[in-house]
Copies of this chain bind each other. A is one copy, B any other.
Amino acid sequence: MEHTKILLDENEMPKQWYNILADLSVEPPLNPATNEPMNPKDLEPIFAKELIKQEASTKRYIDIPEEIREIYSLWRPSPLYRAHRLEKALGTPAKIYYKNESVSPAGSHKPNTAVAQAYYNMKEGTERITTETGAGQWGSALSLSCNYFGIECKVYMVSSSFYQKPYRKSLINLWGANVVPSPSPDTQFGRKIREMYPDTSGSLGIAISEAVEDAALNDNTKYALGSVLNHTCLHQTVVGLETQKQFAKTEDYPDIIIGCCGGGSNLAGASLPYIRDNIAGKTNTRVIAVEPSACPTLTSGDFKYDFGDMAKMTPLLKMFTLGSEFIPPAIHAGGLRYHGASPIISKLVADGLMEATAYHQVEVFDASVTFARSEGIAPAPESAHAIKCTIDEAMKCKQTGEEKTIFFNLSGHGHFDMGSYDKYFSGDLSNE
């Protein structure tokens, strides 16, 4: 019997994260008041010092503290799957592999950085952390992680997801955090937006403004971001580093790496260790970012300095952006509804080291159902974007007869997104 899962022992879990800033030059965040690079000191009111340090570090490998690895071990190393049944269903000669990040208690890759961020905050005495969440995957991951380290957590959840995915907030409550729909009446900015746009479904940009304002104005409170920033990409590299060890146990090596891209952290995590080898000229692996057509940051945005949030409270980041006031339609892949993208991902796309493509909502769910009916797992709508692209690439192989190895990151399961599947099956899913 051919193996379905390539497993690693806990001893084989990486002891260091890989920092691509050692191999890739990314422009620094700017202070919007001066247009000069941010002084790290200026970030200390909202971020833990160690995270600020990691954000700008050019050290190639950064140690993963033992206490973080202990919590990682609750679900890591995660399995790498060979999708035998999907290959058969497609009739493709391609070999399809996927890293199953849905096995974490929060059901996605998000705890990889949430645990790290909660840990460093705990070490520095933070008593309370605020954050925003789109689909709720990040908010639940951070509440899980704050719970592990005894930190209070407040989550501003984009209003459209708050009502579309009610059980994500139940999960956040289960782990002891407080969650409110954003825009909320709890912040000045939230109150302002509610007045200006009483019917808004919210956006990540608005929710970030609320969470940052809350952290800035409250004692012993810091802010945590689930994607975009360099340190979130850094922490996620545990995914790709594990995958490299897992592929080493097979006879295959990825020709194509595919990940969905909102802020970009799951794609970064899966691909950066491979891109390092591309940069070094050792390999020539294609890496594809997949985004929703409804929020086509990398495929239609501009590469420029822009704010990370709608209230223009964050530093300016050099990134692909649709404009910090862009409010995307309320698509079901809530985690991909962000106007910007990680500066690292953006730089890679700008430099031609990564491709980007976009799909409409209905074709993405088509692909997701094909996957669920062959592999079993019900994917998150975000991850389904990666699946759609994977199927397309596998079907190209069917036409050409090429036996390419395609690896995609299954960033999360869809157990809290079943309402979206209901809409898909009833034909009520808009094709944004």
Contacts and interface: CB of A to CB of B under 8 A. Distances in A.
Interface of A: 1, 3-5, 7, 9-10, 66, 69-70, 73-75, 85, 103-107, 144, 147-148, 166-167, 170-171, 173-176, 369, 372-373, 375-378, 415-416, 418-419, 421-422, 425
Given A10-B4, A70-B1, A372-B175, A378 B421 contact: no
A167 B27 CA distance: 45
Please report whether the interface of chain A is mostly helix, strand, loop or mixed according to DSSP: helix
B10 A74 contact: no
B170 A373 contact: no
B378 A73 contact: no
A174 B378 contact: yes
A74 B378 CA distance: 13
Nearest to A377: B105
A173 B425 contact: yes
A175 B373 contact: yes
B422 A74 contact: no
A362 to B, nearest CB: 15
Most chain B Cβ neighbours within 10 Å, of A107, A166, A167, A377: A167
Nearest to A81: B74
A144 B376 contact: yes
B176 A73 contact: no
A66 B1 CA distance: 8
A348 B174 CA distance: 36
Contacts of A103: 103
A416 B419 CA distance: 12
Nearest to A373: B147
